[in-house]
Structure 1
Amino acid sequence: MDFSYSPKVIDLQQRLTAFMDEHIYPAESVYHAEVDANRAAGNAWLPTKVMEELKAKARAAGLWNLFLPESKYGAGLTNLEYAPLCEIMGRSHIAPEAFNCSAPDTGNMETLVRYASEAQQQQWLLPLLDGKIRSAFAMTEPDVASSDATNIEASIVRDGDEYVINGRKWWTSGAPDPRCEILIFMGKTDPTAGPHQQQSMILVPMATPGVKMERPLTVFGYDHAPHGHGEVSFDNVRVPVSNVLLGEGRGFEIAQGRLGPGRIHHCMRLIGLAERALELMCKRALSRVAFHRPIADQGVTRERIANARILIDQARFLVLNAAYMMDTVGNKVAKKEIAMIKVAAPTMACQVIDWAMQVHGGGGVSDDFPLAAAYANARTLRYADGPDEVHRNQIGKMELARYQNKA
């Protein structure tokens, strides 16, 4: 396999990097100041003006909707081609949205491309691709262990030409965002069917009566406004039967199609996040003096820098290999490789960021540097799209299966 970048990808890398240097990094402090000002005025959930300005600039620069590899709507990039670009975006928490390449919208747009009807695409996909609205994915529930999706209890009951939805979801990323207009909701349409045929996915407009954003959730104290994560209740919510995706009982099928690309996007961005943490670590180590010599001259610091480089490069090659397999043999065949990176990348990022925080001393756990927020983000991604334990179990089962008839 050849992981070298094509001229097209190299050109996009250079353009993205230049855009990040000129527009994204300088806007980070402006973005936070605007959110803080909105919070002080009583509403942290207002969309920021600086983000809308960044989106307009990115679109004008031709750096918009770079994902969707097999779709007429995207930039025509394969997963392998998109990987290094997603890594660059991952260096800043505000960058993915600026390029309309942020979660959960990318996963939801891919779901709509693959599984939605033409009418559903016209109503919801096109505004999402245009960056006019945002979306959320309502799957995880507070009352059950949602790492086993067969536990999900939310109900979707047909009543004539409508479905009636009841349940409570949480960690619905994007739900507190006032721009969030559409939810993809997963619940049970037939509790008597087989374990993987009970679930369906359905489109639920956020403004539908009975949908209530109960509260925003925090991550290590961060509310991630104005996007955030929400706990959302659904009380006798009625939507047309035409809002179901693909058909009743096909929720698991859709989930597998959605989560594969979502997992690899998370991992790509985490590599960029870890690269930035290592960069900050090296610059700090060279500029600070402790015990009469630069911290960079301390053996433990050099060892951690070396190990960080090894871990990042290992994770990158695992991700590129998974992307290559997704492109060549499909997500289903590449499920072990996808599971492997979903464990490896967040674990790596947490460790690298932790070392970078240590070099920064007390400043590392403050908001004077981006490391504390980066750590909170990376640690959260050990849960998102399936916790480590689920992926390790899957990897172990597949590995054991290779030897089952040889023991």
Structure 2
Amino acid sequence: MPVPHGLPASKLIHCGLMTAQATDMTLQVRAFVQSEILPLEAIFLKHGFKAVLPELHKVRQKVRAQGWWLPPLHPPLGMGLSLTEFARLSEELGRSPLGHYAFNTQAPDIGNMEVLLKHGTPEQKERFLKPLAAGEIRSSFGMTEPEYPGSNPVWMNTTAVLEGDHWVLNGHKWYTTGFEGSAFCIVMCITDPDQPNPYARASQIIVPIDTPGFQHVRKISVMGEQGEDWMSHSEIRLHNVQVPKENLLGERGRGFAIAQERLGPGRIHHCMRWIGIAQRSFELMCKHAARRELAPGKPLGSRQAIQHMIADSKAEIHAARLMVLDAAEKVQQQGAEGARVEISVIKYFVAGVLQRVLDRAIQVHGGLGMSDDLPLSFFYRHERAARIYDGADEVHKTVVARAALKEYGLEVSL
């Protein structure tokens, strides 16, 4: 498959579009995104996700034919790429809002698959994991509650009480991503309220969304958009929802531990996706600066202020990419807990780079950047949350600072 833009791999490496360890597959996937996925964006931006879904299903079939389906999961479900290998691929897929969906690696489905693969019973894998991995159904994940701060995840009010052979759930969740159209939701709930260790009070329970008492209250409008299907966030309520006790995912009281397992690699995935968005925005910015003229013969990019925006963006993207790959390598070697500080560093640093690069790209494009003729405004609306979800910037900075101070003898408590 030809390299995109007609550039040789060495030139791609030199200009920073790829890193020196880029694989043939990474280049091929980049070309595939360019030829098969980016052309669908105009329909998506104008008419929404459901309008593009039929064509996107055709793209999924092409992904399967190439052998690229579910890159991070091991055969027979997927390709079996390592975390660092998938991190590189995640950047390429992140270049489009539709990229990860085309490869069935969209959140929260990929996280739910990884959890089911590791902690699910044989029956749970057959009923929930198998069709999810095949792309036949979607899933959602319910953790955040409107009454309690997301920065304190042990503080929640949704409960599950074991009554005979069933769990009975009651509670209130919001920002449950992809709930509309999903087949089931993995719900974080308090099962052991008297546990002295607050991190041992919660469990994860699989709840089919057609279970009586499981109410979809609304799709939450985020910066003026409600979204559709997988690209939406919902508020939900559970009123005496009963599911079999066999729907407990993993061990009772291990809900937070399981959540942390998915958050480590998940943050790597998010960060590389954000870098893909930043890289795409950078390329659009450079293209516009080179072609747009302020006056005859005076391109926008000839102005020093624009050049500085481009230089700062290039440096920050490159630094972010190397930091994430370094963190991914440490996760592979020592696990998510061993790389806890590195994960916190990249979480807030890359989210900040994403926001700054997007802002510069919009500024350089002027009114065009504000419009939906380009994906910049979509990225800006939907990715501002990068500095909030999976731990707000301030929380991760505290983790990093406390770890640094501990090396100098200062123990700082929360």
Query: Residue 181 of structure 1 aligns with which residue?
Result: 183
**Superposed, which structure 2 residues align to 1:312-323 within 5 Å?**
312-323=317-328
Residue type of the partner of 1:215?
A: R
Task: Kindly indicate whether residue 355 of structure 2 is the aligned counterpart of residue 350 of structure 1.
Answer: yes
Residue type of the partner of 1:382?
A: R
Q: What is the aligned counterpart of 1:199 among 189, 199, 202?
A: 202
Contact 1:215–1:231, Cα closer than 8 Å, also in 2: yes
**Superposed, which structure 2 residues align to 1:4-403 within 5 Å?**
5=21, 10-35=23-48, 48-68=53-73, 73-176=77-180, 178=181, 180-193=182-195, 194-227=197-230, 228-290=232-294, 293-403=298-408
Q: Could you list the per-position Cα deviations for residues 292-346 of structure 1 after superposition, in whole angstroms to 9, with x for gaps in the alignment?
A: 5211011000001000000000100110001110111111101111111110111
Distance of aligned partners of 1:46 and 1:162 in 2 relative to their CA distance in 1, 3 Å threshold:
farther
Displacement of 1:72 in angstroms is 5.8
Unaligned 5+ residue runs, structure 2?
1-18
Residue type of the partner of 1:96?
A: H
How far apart in 1 are the matches of 2:51 and 2:251? 36
**SS at 1:233's partner residue?**
strand
How far apart in 1 are the matches of 2:50 and 2:192? 37
How far apart in 1 are the matches of 2:253 and 2:404? 30
How far apart in 1 are the matches of 2:395 and 2:24? 38
Distance of aligned partners of 1:33 and 1:379 in 2 relative to their CA distance in 1, 3 Å threshold:
closer
Query: Residue 40 of structure 1 aligns with which residue?
Result: none
How far apart in 2 are the matches of 1:141 and 1:379? 20
Distance of aligned partners of 1:362 and 1:345 in 2 relative to their CA distance in 1, 3 Å threshold:
same
How far apart in 2 are the matches of 1:170 and 1:58? 33
How far apart in 2 are the matches of 1:122 and 1:321? 35
Taking structure 1 as the reference length, what is the TM-score of the superposition?
A: 0.92
Residue type of the partner of 1:338?
A: I
Contact 2:44–2:51, Cα closer than 8 Å, also in 1: no
Taking structure 2 as the reference length, what is the TM-score of the superposition?
A: 0.91
How far apart in 2 are the matches of 1:289 and 1:330? 51
Contact 1:201–1:251, Cα closer than 8 Å, also in 2: yes
How far apart in 1 are the matches of 2:20 and 2:287? 29
Displacement of 1:381 in angstroms is 1.4
**SS at 1:136's partner residue?**
strand
Residue type of the partner of 1:245?
A: L
Q: CA RMSD in A?
A: 1.7
Displacement of 1:146 in angstroms is 2.1
Displacement of 1:223 in angstroms is 2.3
Contact 1:31–1:51, Cα closer than 8 Å, also in 2: no
Contact 2:330–2:339, Cα closer than 8 Å, also in 1: yes
Q: Could you list the per-position Cα deviations for residues 172-213 of structure 1 after superposition, in whole angstroms to 9, with x for gaps in the alignment?
A: 00012x2x0011100101111121111111101111111111
**SS at 1:301's partner residue?**
helix
How far apart in 2 are the matches of 1:89 and 1:175? 22
How far apart in 2 are the matches of 1:367 and 1:393? 37
Distance of aligned partners of 1:46 and 1:390 in 2 relative to their CA distance in 1, 3 Å threshold:
same
Sequence identity (%): 39
How far apart in 2 are the matches of 1:58 and 1:150? 39
Displacement of 1:158 in angstroms is 0.8
Query: Residue 6 of structure 2 aligns with which residue?
Result: none
Displacement of 1:96 in angstroms is 0.5
Unaligned 5+ residue runs, structure 1?
36-43
